[in-house]
Amino acid sequence: MPITMTILLVTAFIQAGLQLVVFMHAGETNDKPAIYTNIYYGLVIALVTIFGTLLCMIWGYI
């Protein structure tokens, strides 16, 4: 089960990145740095939220 979920998550992130670059043309505008900064910020917030939840609920730290 964990391997299946890992494969699913990896392919989902690859698909999201590909769609962002290819279909939304993120690198073709004048505000390219702002777009990528917002993406990195969103990823950091998502990872902090996910690992904070794991830290509290699964690993037992409060």
Contact 35, 29 (CB under 8 A): yes
Q: What residue spans define the domains of the chain?
A: 2-57
Residue 7 has a pLDDT of 92
Indicate the pTM of the whole model: 0.62
Residue 5 has a pLDDT of 87
Task: Show pLDDT as tens, one digit a residue, over the chain (62 residues).
Answer: 789 989 998 999 899 888 877 877 777 888 888 888 988 998 899 999 999 998 898 887 76
The two three-digit tokens of residue 38, written as one number:
């917002």
Residue 54 has a pLDDT of 86
